[in-house]
Structure 1
């Protein structure tokens, strides 16, 4: 009888559709497709039932290769660093979860983070593999993240972000800019930067927009209220840095201070907080408003 397999922590697996090639087995294809993962690691995953077909049945080492075959697998990182900060669930119902994410914790698995992610922690804590983030914030950023807890209504909440029907308020601590007039609307075009994980402003039609206000003047530093209209990668960090006020403790802007693989300095969190979210709930029709319990000061 085929073996039905699940991750020990109820983690959602990653998925790959096998590319066209001349391999004999699924194992051979995965080894070639993911060259950064050794054959020994893939064999170990197969033997522990962590490589599955589209129906969730564990595949054997000799399972024949087929172009387009959908394969699920569970990513693992040996000796994964434990992030020593806890998330706080602010709201939980049959459709929606609102969580205060600490600094340094990724929202979803990526790179060297699998179990030490907000999604993985919540999935394990609530034994629910249907907990899926509706949006993301940077690993270095703290604050509010919305999760769908019900696949049936997930699309309704995803549409709020796609159609820009959510008011997002961030706070950032950065250098004072007394020479500028606020509120200020920053509209610029983003393109890839150097190194590969950075973004930069480039010439062309604007594809980013942020309204910037001064929330509190604290001498040489000000607390800014940021309202992003668009949601490009590193948008708030790039916009403030371009104005001459990079966010305090930013390791990437305006210059790279720490590379991505540099160990985190927990004493210097990025002073950026996803502070508030407001929207009309697409299920209940009620106004919803959530505020982070965290503070940058």
Structure 2
């Protein structure tokens, strides 16, 4: 794997070692390989790790396949991939409802990750999971295209710097916008489900904005401050307004779960450009 990255105009002056370790989160073992193999170049010349770099410099890296571990994935069908944005390092696709994000068993072939692996295979690239959407949820989902960028995206996610906005339709009429701040934990009686658990649950915050009230339902937007399993579904059900079509948290049948990840914002790890991606047309 060969990458050439032009440091953005916002780049602070620092050493190669600091750039690799603190900015790009390259593992210690891989930094050692890069140094001993002399596989880091600055503006076309082999770079020393104590050398300073600054905005506008071109940093080139050569990574061996063996530098990072990779779990082989069975190839699915590339035709199922709907690309919303793609570059050398990241890809955002529009996940259909009813499709799992990734396999839970090694022989699975019909998940989004399988299909994305098939899409990327002709380019000699591989997908890496950054976050997930429930099987029943549709919309924008981000993957890394190499192990080099994966920890940087993971840090953005942990620091709540990947903004995700969802469309949803709930039963009943919500009266006003609200913030739901309720810890979520596992349901001891049903391993598929999550529950509100103030004592043992993980902190979870969901911001809800009303888009439109209809006869018996409300169309809403949700923004997550945390990313717990089933967070939107559990939080709305706890208010007495479960999502339409939710197979776990309400009993009324519907064609699908009415939850769609419609928008994603984040700062690109290398260009530092603000990325705004929408998965249209959405639910309405």
* TMscore range, shorter length: 0.5 to 0.7
Q: Which residue of 2 aligns with 1:186?
A: 180
CA distance in 2, matches of 1:129, 1:71: 12
Conserved? CA contact 1:106–1:113, under 8 Å: no
- 1:250 is matched with which residue? 246
1:254 Cα deviation from its structure 2 partner: 3.8
Asked if 1:268 is matched to 2:255, the reply is yes
Give the TM-score, by structure 2 length. Answer: 0.68
Structure 1 segments unaligned to the other structure (5+ residues): 1-54, 56-69, 77-81, 258-264
Q: Residue 225 of structure 1 is aligned with which of 212, 221, 225?
A: 221
TM-score normalised by the chain length of structure 1: 0.65
Q: CA deviation at 1:73?
A: 7.6
Task: Decide whether aligned partners of structure 1 residues 243 and 111 sit closer, same or farther in structure 2, where only a CA change above 3 A counts.
Answer: farther
Q: Retained in 1: the 8 A contact 2:185–2:202?
A: no
SS in 2 for 1:124: helix
For 1:1-297, list aligned pairs within 5 A: 86-110=80-104, 114-127=108-121, 128=124, 130-178=126-174, 180-182=175-177, 184-193=178-187, 194-204=189-199, 207-254=203-250, 268-297=255-284
Extract unaligned runs of 5+ from structure 2.
1-65
Contact 1:87-1:102 at 8 Å conserved across structures: no
Contact 1:133 1:145 in 2 (8 A): no
In the TM superposition, residue 101 of structure 1 has moved relative to its aligned partner by: 0.4
Cα RMSD (Å): 2.9
Tell me, yes or no, if the aligned pair for 2:182 and 2:204 is still in contact at 8 Å.
yes
